[in-house]
A and B are shown apart, each in its own frame.
Chain A
Amino acid sequence: MLLNLSAEDQAFQDEVRSFMTESAPAALRQKVERNQTLTREDFLSWHRILYARGWIAPAWPVEFGGPGWSPMQRHIFQEELALASMPMIMPFGINMVGPVIMRFGNDTQRAKYLPRILSGEDWWCQGYSEPGSGSDLASLKTRAERDGDVYVVNGAKTWTTHANFADMMFCLVRTSNEGKRQNGITFLLIDMKSEGVTVKPIRTMDGGVEINEVFLDEVRVPVENLIGEEGRGWTYAKFLLGNERTGMARIGRSRKHLDRIRSIAAQEPLGDGTLLDDQKFQEKIAAIEIDILALESLVLQVLAEESAGTVPGPEASFLKIRGTEIEQAITELTMEAVGNYAMPYQPEVLEQGWNEEPVGPDYAVGAAPLYFNFRKASIYGGTNEIQKNIVARMILGV
C-alpha cells in the first residue's frame, strides 16, 4: 500500500500479478495455504512454469538467463510470488550455487550446470553443516584427498535441506590441515548418485521430513567438479552468503500470512462475535504489521543502495534476524488463533491431502506444525546469534 511505485514498476507489478493469476496452479496454492507437505514434483511443476516464462532466476545477469530486473522489480516479484501463495523458489541452485559458479567456476562448469539449474533438471542441496560443525563451520572435517584426477571424499554432512530430493550437492570439504583452518577448505560439486553417498532423512518435531544426514564414504568426485582453486572454498562460501539479502526479510510471505491470521480469527468464535473482534488480538496483529512495515522500509533502503551500487553493511544480518523473528511471531500467533484445534496431530492430512474430513477446521491442521517447523528460521543460514557476532565485529571492531 505504501510502495509509491513508479509508473514503470507499477506496470511491472501488474504484469507479474496477472501472470500469477493465470499461471499459479489452484491445487498447489491450496496446499501452500493449508501448510500441506509439498512433494518434489510440487516444487518442480511451479519451477518449470516460471522457467518457461523466463522468471526463474530473478537476480541472474541476462547473459546467464536472468530477466534483467532492477532490485526493486525483484522485490516486487518476490512479493507477488508470496501473495499468490506459491512456493518460494528453492534457493540452493538459483540463489546459492548458481552465482558461485558464475563468479568462480570455469566456462565448462558454467555451460554444464547453469542451464540445468534454470530448467530444474538438477535439484541442488547444500553440504555445509556437519555433526561436529554447526555455527563453527570452519571446523568442518569431511576430508577430500586427491587421487589422480579424482577427489576421494569421506565424512558426513547434516541438516541438509532436501538432500532427499537432490541431484547435486555443493559441498565444503577439507583438503588441508595446514595453516589457518579456513584455508584448508575446498568447494566441490558432488553428484548425489555417486557411489558412497547415502542420504538418511531426519524427522523434525513438526512431523515433517525436510532435512537429512548425508554420509560420504569413499565418494570419488572428478577434479573437474572443483570450483575455483583448492583451499579457497571459504571465500566462495562467504560470497554465497552475501547473495540476495533482501529476500531474507520475507516481507511478502509474512504479510500474506498475516492476512491468513485475520481470516482465521474472523472464523474463530469468541463470545458473541469472533476472535477478530477482540482488541487484544487485534493489537497483536497490528504489532506484527508495524514490524513488517518497519522492516520493509529497511528492505527498500537496501534495494535503493544496491541500485546505487553500494554494498550494505550490517543490514543484511538485520534483515535475516528481524525477518525470522517476524516469521516466528506470525507462526506463533497463527497457532494461538486456532485455539483448541491446534492440538490434534493429523500428519496424514498434511501429507496425503484431504480425502477425509479433518478433525476441526481445515485451517487448524497445519498451525502447530508450522509453529514448530519455524523454530528453524533463527537457526539456519547462520544462527541469529552468529549474525549478531558478525555485526558486532562491524560496529564495535573488537
Chain B
Amino acid sequence: MNILFTDEQRLLAESLEQYAAGRYSFDQRRAVLASDEGYSPEAWHDFAELGWLGLAVPEEDGGLGGSLADVAVLMEGFGRMLALEPFVATVLLGAGLLAEIGTPEQRAAYLPGVAEGTSKLAFGHSERQARFDLADVRAEARSGADGFVLDGHKCVVLGAPAANHLLVSARTDGGPRDDDGVSLFIVPADAEGLTMRGYPMQDGHRAADVTLENVAVGTSALVGPAGEALPAIRRVVQRAMIALAAEAVGAMEALNAMTFEYLRTRQQFGAPIGSFQGLQHRAVEMEMAHKISRAMVHRMARAADANSELLGQCAAAVKAEVGKSGKFVGQQAIQLHGGIGMTDEYAASHYFKRLTMIDILFGNADHHLAEYARLSQETAASSG
C-alpha cells in the first residue's frame, strides 16, 4: 500500500500505526475528548519524543526539515487515529509562518520549543466578514510609540485555547480586501486587551474567538516585513490545506475499514448486509473515493515540494477533491451503519464529524473548485 512512500516515510507510517494501536485507542481518545484541555498533554509529549512535532520545523531551528510529502504521511496517520492534538495550529500554521518570514530572533525564540513540545502556537486570521477570503483582513495595527496597537476580532482560531502565543494578522495599510498592507504579529496569549472565548468544535478539536482591544506590542512582535505578510500566509495555509486533505484521507481509510467490517458481519434478513448489491456498490464507490483521493494527496504534496509555483493549484485541487470525497465517504458510512452510526459511543460518527470540519476549514469543496477555475483561467490567459 505504500508504494508512494520513501523508506523513511514508510517507517514514519509504521510508527504512527504502532502508536495508534498502543497509545491512542478510541476509548483513550474519548477520555481526552471529555477533558478540559480537549487534547492529551501526554500524547503531545510523545509526539515531540517521536520527532513528529519537529518534522515540519526547519533543521536550523531544531527540527527535522521534513517536506510537505513527509507531513502528508504524518497527517494521514493522525487522520486514522483521529488525533485531537493542536498539531495544525502549532506546527503547520504557527511554526510554518515563523519559518517562512520570522526574524532569526523569533525563530530561535519559538521554533525549538515547538519541536520539543514546550511551546504551542495558534494563528488568528479569519474574520467574520471574510468567509474564506484570505486577503479580507480588517483587524488593524496602528503604529504606537514603541511598537503597534492591535484591534480586531478573529473567529474560530484553531488551537487558541492551548496556545502560549498567537500569530495575529492585522492591517497596517491598504483597503479591506487588498493583498498589500497585511502584517503579522506574534502576541502572548495572555497579553493585556486580548480576550479569548474558547469552545470545542463539532469534532472536539478546540478553538476560540479572539478579540483584540488596544493590545500593545513591541516592534519585535512584527513577523516579516510590515504590510507584506499575505503571500506567506497564503503559502502556509495552502500547505496546511494539503496536510488536512491527507488527514481526511487517513480518516476515510479508517472509516471505510470499519464500514466494510460492519457490512461483513451485520446480519439482517438472514444474511450479512454486505451481500446486498445496493450496499456493495456503495461500498465500492467509497473505496474508490478513498483510493483516488489518497493517490492525489500524496502526489500533490510531492508536486508542490518539487515546484512551489504549483502550490496554489495543487492545494485548491486537493481541497476540492477531498472535500467532495470525504463528504461522500462520511455520509455513506453513517448510512450503511444504520442506527449505530448515529451514536456518539461509536467511532464512525467521530470520523464523519472530523471529515465535515476538514471540508469547511480554509474553504470547502465548492470554494476551492471556484478557486481552481480562477487559477486555470489565469494560467490559460498568461500562456496563450
Known contacts A304-B3, A389-B277; A290/B321 CB under 8 A: yes
CB pair B284–A392 under 8 Å, yes or no, is yes
Whether a CB of chain B sits under 8 angstroms from the CB of A48 is no
Whether a CB of chain B sits under 8 angstroms from the CB of A397 is yes
Q: Which residues of B contact A45 (CB under 8 A)?
A: none
CB pair B296–A294 under 8 Å, yes or no, is yes
Whether a CB of chain B sits under 8 angstroms from the CB of A7 is no
Known contacts A279-B370, A289-B372; A385/B287 CB under 8 A: no
CB pair A282–B373 under 8 Å, yes or no, is yes
Within 8 A of B (CB), among A312-326: 314-315, 317-318, 321-322
The prevalent SS among residues of B at the interface is helix
CB distance from B291 to the nearest CB of A (A): 6
Contact residue among A262, A388, A398 (Cβ-Cβ distance under 8 Å from B284): A388
Known: A289-B372, A304-B4. 8 other contacts (CB 8 A): A1-B310, A4-B306, A283-B373, A298-B291, A392-B281, A392-B284, A395-B283, A395-B287
Known contacts A287-B369, A389-B280; A315/B3 CB under 8 A: no
CB pair A318–B292 under 8 Å, yes or no, is yes
CB distance from B206 to the nearest CB of A (A): 32
> Which residue of B has the minimal Cβ distance to A295?
B292
CB pair B264–A398 under 8 Å, yes or no, is yes
Q: Which residues of A contact B300 (CB under 8 A)?
A: 2, 297
CB pair A283–B310 under 8 Å, yes or no, is no
Q: Which residues of B contact A391 (CB under 8 A)?
A: 284, 287-288
Q: Which residues of A contact B277 (CB under 8 A)?
A: 389, 392
Whether a CB of chain B sits under 8 angstroms from the CB of A26 is no
> Which residue of B has the minimal Cβ distance to A390?
B284
Q: Which residues of A contact B377 (CB under 8 A)?
A: 282
Interface residues on B, range: 35 or more
Known contacts A304-B3, A396-B283; A290/B317 CB under 8 A: yes
Contact residue among A298, A310, A385, A396 (Cβ-Cβ distance under 8 Å from B295): A298
CA distance A33 to B295 in the complex (A): 31
Contact residue among A4, A262, A294, A317 (Cβ-Cβ distance under 8 Å from B292): A294
Whether a CB of chain B sits under 8 angstroms from the CB of A308 is yes
CB distance from B72 to the nearest CB of A (A): 12
CB pair A398–B263 under 8 Å, yes or no, is yes
CB pair B274–A396 under 8 Å, yes or no, is yes
CA distance A308 to B317 in the complex (A): 28
Whether a CB of chain A sits under 8 angstroms from the CB of B260 is yes
CA distance A396 to B275 in the complex (A): 9
CB distance from B95 to the nearest CB of A (A): 27
Known contacts A4-B306, A301-B295, A392-B280; A283/B3 CB under 8 A: no
What 0/1 pattern do residues 352 to 384 of B give for CB contact below 8 A with A? 000000000000000001101110110010000
What 0/1 pattern do residues 241 to 268 of B give for CB contact below 8 A with A? 0000000000000000000100110000
A residues contacting the other copy or chain, number (CB 8 A): 39
Known contacts A2-B310, A301-B3; A315/B369 CB under 8 A: no
> Which residue of A has the minimal Cβ distance to B285?
A388
CB pair A396–B264 under 8 Å, yes or no, is yes
Contact residue among A287, A314, A322, A385 (Cβ-Cβ distance under 8 Å from B281): A385
CB pair A290–B295 under 8 Å, yes or no, is no
Contact residue among A290, A388, A398 (Cβ-Cβ distance under 8 Å from B320): A290
> Which residue of A has the minimal Cβ distance to B261?
A396
CB pair A318–B291 under 8 Å, yes or no, is yes
Known contacts A2-B299, A262-B380, A308-B3; A388/B310 CB under 8 A: no
CA distance A314 to B285 in the complex (A): 11
What 0/1 pattern do residues 86 to 101 of B give for CB contact below 8 A with A? 0000000000000000
CB pair A283–B370 under 8 Å, yes or no, is yes
User: A317, A385, A392, A397: which has the most chain B beta carbons within 10 Å?
Assistant: A392
CA distance A388 to B3 in the complex (A): 24
CB distance from B2 to the nearest CB of A (A): 10
Q: Which residues of B contact A301 (CB under 8 A)?
A: 3-4, 295, 299
Known contacts A290-B321, A318-B291; A398/B296 CB under 8 A: no
CB pair A286–B3 under 8 Å, yes or no, is no
> Which residue of A has the minimal Cβ distance to B302?
A4
CA distance A327 to B122 in the complex (A): 44
Whether a CB of chain B sits under 8 angstroms from the CB of A293 is yes
Within 8 A of B (CB), among A1-43: 1-2, 4
> Which residue of A has the minimal Cβ distance to B317?
A290
Whether a CB of chain A sits under 8 angstroms from the CB of B183 is no
Interface residues of A (CB under 8 A from B): 1-2, 4, 262, 279, 282-283, 285-287, 289-291, 293-295, 297-298, 300-301, 304-305, 308, 310, 314-315, 317-318, 321-322, 385, 388-389, 391-392, 395-398
> Which residue of A has the minimal Cβ distance to B371?
A286
CB pair A318–B288 under 8 Å, yes or no, is yes
CA distance A293 to B306 in the complex (A): 17
CA distance A310 to B1 in the complex (A): 10
Q: Which residues of A contact B283 (CB under 8 A)?
A: 392, 395-396
Q: Which residues of A contact B281 (CB under 8 A)?
A: 385, 388-389, 392
CA distance A391 to B256 in the complex (A): 14
What 0/1 pattern do residues 275 to 318 of B give for CB contact below 8 A with A? 10100110111011001110110111011001100100010010
> Which residue of B has the minimal Cβ distance to A290?
B317
CA distance A301 to B249 in the complex (A): 16
CA distance A42 to B109 in the complex (A): 70
CB pair A293–B317 under 8 Å, yes or no, is yes
Q: Which residues of B contact A287 (CB under 8 A)?
A: 320, 369
- Nearest 5 pairs between A and B by C-beta? A286-B373, A392-B280, A297-B295, A297-B296, A297-B299
CB distance from A41 to the nearest CB of B (A): 35
Q: Which residues of A contact B310 (CB under 8 A)?
A: 1-2
CB pair B369–A290 under 8 Å, yes or no, is yes
Q: Which residues of A contact B280 (CB under 8 A)?
A: 388-389, 392, 396
Q: Which residues of B contact A279 (CB under 8 A)?
A: 370, 373
CB pair B320–A297 under 8 Å, yes or no, is no
CB distance from B304 to the nearest CB of A (A): 9
CA distance A391 to B291 in the complex (A): 13
Whether a CB of chain A sits under 8 angstroms from the CB of B66 is no
CB pair B264–A322 under 8 Å, yes or no, is no
Whether a CB of chain A sits under 8 angstroms from the CB of B193 is no
CA distance A395 to B288 in the complex (A): 11
Some 15 contacts from A to B, beta carbons below 8 A apart, are A2-B300, A2-B314, A286-B373, A289-B376, A293-B317, A294-B321, A297-B298, A297-B300, A298-B295, A298-B296, A301-B4, A314-B288, A391-B284, A392-B284, A398-B263
